[in-house]
């Protein structure tokens, strides 16, 4: 598919993050020149290199796992960090954001897939995090919503169920902790293989790479 075909398939109210990991600056510029301004990377070093090389009106999202000791390299410019799943990481993002007088948008990553993964919160863990005294003191992080990845499977019912479970978690958190915060409005779910199912389940932001840039 071309970039134009991908955007034609995504409703206007759903944000597209073009996932450019492993792709060159030239390939990214081709998509930039067609109007795309939001790009996603999953590695800190690649993200900082591309930030340096590319136009400064790009909004960069870090979509992959982030190690605490690397937050300092992206804190001055990153627009959104998708995969936050620990208090320790929030504390570090807050600390680094303060140095630049910024408030950094973050998403809570949930483990919704059947595959085992070290990453992503359970509902219980999210509750503990959001009620932690240390967390409540943070001033320079803003939680915008949730992020999750469905199981890599051909079974659409399973994928649909997993996205629905993330949408339910979003609603629960919204009602319980963020009712007075309209900025809690992001459900980051859906990739090249499952973005249509994700949008049906209420995704507000899809992270699409190979469909736009070709396989990696
Ligand atoms: C690579 C990646 C994507 C995009 O995957 P595609 O299948 O190429 O669309 C989305 N989200 C995350 C977290 C990724 O690492």
Is residue 216 situated within a structural domain?
A: no
Is residue 66 situated within a structural domain?
A: yes
Query: What's the CATH code of the domain at 67?
Result: 3.20.20.10
Model confidence, pTM: 0.97
The two tokens of residue 40 are 């996603």
Paired strand residues for 143: 106
Atom of ligand 1 at shortest distance to CA of 21?
1
Q: What phi, psi does 80 have (nearest 5°)?
A: -150, 140
Q: In which residue ranges of the chain is pLDDT below 50? A: none
The per-residue pLDDT for 116 is 82
The sign one gets for the Cα dihedral 40, 42, 48, 53 is: negative
Closest protein CA for atom 11 of ligand 1? 207
Residue-wise pLDDT for 17-58, tens only, equals 999 999 999 999 999 999 999 999 999 999 999 999 999 999
Residue 98 structural domain:
3-211
The per-residue pLDDT for 38 is 98
9 lines ligand 1 (CB under 6 A): no
């Amino acid at each position: 598919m071309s970039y134009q075909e991908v955007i034609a398939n995504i409703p206007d109210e759903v944000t597209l993050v073009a996932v450019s990991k492993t792709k060159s600056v030239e390939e990214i510029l081709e998509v930039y020149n067609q109007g795309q301004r939001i790009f996603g990377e999953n590695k800190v070093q690649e993200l900082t290199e591309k930030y340096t090389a590319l136009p400064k009106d790009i909004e960069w999202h870090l979509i992959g796992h982030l190690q605490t000791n690397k937050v300092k390299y992206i804190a001055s410019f990153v627009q959104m960090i998708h995969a936050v799943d620990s208090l320790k990481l929030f504390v570090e993002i807050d600390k680094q954001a303060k140095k630049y007088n910024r408030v950094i948008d973050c998403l809570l990553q949930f483990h919704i897939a059947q595959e085992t993964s070290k990453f992503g919160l359970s509902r219980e863990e999210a509750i503990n995090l959001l009620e932690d005294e240390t967390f409540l003191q943070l001033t320079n992080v803003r939680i915008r919503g949730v992020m999750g990845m469905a199981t890599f499977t051909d079974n659409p019912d399973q994928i649909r169920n997993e996205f629905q479970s993330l949408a339910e978690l979003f609603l629960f958190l919204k009602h319980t902790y963020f009712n007075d915060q309209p900025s809690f409005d992001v459900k980051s779910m859906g990739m090249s293989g499952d973005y249509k199912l994700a949008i049906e389940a209420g995704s507000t932001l899809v992270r699409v790479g190979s469909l736009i840039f070709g396989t990696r």
